Amino acid sequence: MNADSPRPNLAPLTLHVPEPRYRPGDEADFSDIGVLPAGQTPRPDSAAPAAEMRDMVYGLVRVLDDDARAIGPWDPRLSPDTLRKMLRSMALTRAFDARMFRAQRQGKTSFYMKSTGEEAVSVGATFALQRDDMCFPSYRQQGILIARDWSLVDMMNQIYSNKGDRLKGRQLPIMYSTIEGAFFSISGNLATQYPQAVGWAMASAAKGDTRIAATWCGEGSTAEGDFHSACMFATVYRAPVIMNIVNNQWAISSFAGFAGGEATTFAARAAGYGIAGLRVDGNDPLAVYAATAWAAERARTNHGPTLIEHFTYRAEGHSTSDDPSAYRSADEATKWPLGDPIARLRDHLIGLGEWSLEQHDAQDQELAETVKAAQKEAEKNGILGHGMHQSFDTMFEDVFEELPWHLVEQRDQMRAERAASGIREGA
């Protein structure tokens, strides 16, 4: 006790520094996580006032129970054909990730990020949205494009930054962008897509359109100012937008506690803004579908935005530049209580008599061959380190509708200097 303190009878103040429960070498134990039984969380009307839904942010929307049966009020009752399509999209996403991860390790590209264990978050949501609803993803939602049957070759061209890259090598690998796919440009600056999505949704409403927006970010990104600005605009103007928080427990090596995850759920942030909030089992494809469909109906009927927390786990490293064994327990992924999303939907279909392990193994083999063939096709356009893939002229393109005079001079000077040096285009 400091005798010079103005309040010597009080203990000194202390600062709480969040600390993950398990570090390398520890045995993970998630038995204390409150996983509500499937079917227990009620399903309110999509037009219900947000103020009447505050308990939802502390619940957990689940459809598939421990025996892979679909139960409860959130069961979307999808046809077996739709379930098989969802399963295929998730399995294709995982196969795509595996091959592109290997391509990075072979030096064919500089960077890659897998979505292993989180496939339901993007695929389940995409199946619940309309094809022209605008998506503003973060960098682990490649499943959106795959669920929309986007060209794998086109995606790989972007990863390789080759001559077939529609972004002309200007973006980091995996930061896709396509207007035709209603897939907004991914940004490495986290949470920037949140206000962009809200603004797009507001514009859609102002024009009297019927399309809505959906956006995704990790739980760590909710600490960014952009997240909170977006929530404010969304609630004030009742923007037709779905705001997804992918709580996969880790923001690179920072665990969820540094973003406020120790104090309350991330879905609870919705209540403070007067936004409808749902907390969902992110490893349950049917729950993700049902929650997104509910939120989409709410947005499309002018009842405002919804914030959805997807409670999931990042099974592998943050990216090819990350080694998770340096900061977390090695067995966390296998101990995660909500299981694997692909296995859960597979088992559900098997339980319905609409699938089998033999069919699943055959599909995995088929998808691996599909991805391999797409890779061979994309690599015809070039890979990392194999020369220049874009014309130097592209440095001056796609910013101004009409190129300013000073850039015309610089471009012409560049052309002249390269010609005088005997450098051929593409060299």
Tell me the percentage of the chain whose pLDDT exceeds 90: 89
pLDDT grade, residue 96 (50/70/90)? very high
CB 245 within 8 A of CB 217: yes
Phi-psi region of 353 (alpha: psi -120 to 50; beta: other; left: phi over 0): left
Contact present, 171 and 206 (Cβ < 8 Å): no
Report the pLDDT averaged over residues 49-68. 96
Q: Cα dihedral angle (51, 52, 56, 62), rounded to 10 degrees?
A: -140
- 50-322+330-379 in CATH: which number? 3.40.50.970
**What is the pLDDT at residue 386?**
84
Identify the CA nearest to 216 among candidates 174, 178, 262, 184. Answer: 184
Q: Residue ranges per domain, the chain?
A: 50-322+330-379, 392-427
Query: What integer is the mean pLDDT of 112-136?
Result: 98
Q: What is the mean pLDDT of residues 325-343?
A: 94
State mean pLDDT over 109-119. 97
CA distance 213 to 239: 9
| Cα gap 357→244, rounded to integer Å | 32
Q: What is the largest CA-CA distance in the chain?
A: 83
Phi, psi for residue 178 in degrees, rounded to 5? -155, 120
Please state, in angstroms and rounded to a whole number, the distance separating the CA atoms of residues 14 and 30.
28
Sign (positive or negative) of CA dihedral 367, 342, 240, 190: negative
- Residues of the chain with pLDDT > 70, as a percent, come to 98
- Average pLDDT, rounded, for the chain: 95
Ramachandran bin of 66, using left for φ above 0, alpha for ψ from -120 to 50, beta for the remaining angles: alpha
* pLDDT tens per residue across span 155-203: 999 999 999 999 999 999 999 999 999 999 999 899 999 999 999 999 9
The DSSP secondary-structure symbol of 328 reads S
Average pLDDT score over residue span 300-311 = 98
The string of DSSP codes covering 377-391 is: HHHTT--TTSS--S-
Residue 319 CB: number of other CB atoms within 10 A?
16
Q: How confident is the model at residue 427 (pLDDT cuts 50, 70, 90)?
A: low
- Predicted confidence at residue 389, as pLDDT, reads 83
pLDDT given for residue 307 in this prediction: 98
Read off the pLDDT band of 221 (50, 70, 90).
very high
List pLDDT tens digits, range 367-409: 999 999 999 999 999 998 887 788 888 889 998 999 999 999 9
**Bridge partners, 55 (sequence order):** none
CA distance 85 to 302: 30
pLDDT range class, residue 3, cuts 50, 70, 90: low
- Distances from the Cα of 234 to the Cα of 120, 229, 340, angstroms: 25, 9, 33
Phi then psi dihedrals of residue 236, to 5 deg: -65, -45
167 closest CA partner among 152, 186, 149: 186
Q: What is the pLDDT of residue 2?
A: 59
- Indicate whether 131 pLDDT > 90: yes
Mean pLDDT of 31-56: 92
Buried b / exposed e over 226-261, threshold 16 CB at 10 Å, is bbbebbebbbebbbbbbbbbbbbbbbeeebbbbbbb
Residue 345: pLDDT above 60?
yes
Cα atoms in the 13 Å half-sphere on the side-chain side of 176? 30
Strand partners, 310: 246, 280
What confidence score (pLDDT) does residue 31 get? 85
The string of pLDDT tens digits covering residues 236-265 is 999 999 999 999 999 999 999 999 999 999
What integer pLDDT is reported at residue 6 of this predicted model? 79
Q: How far is 136 from 184, CA to CA, in rounded Å?
A: 5
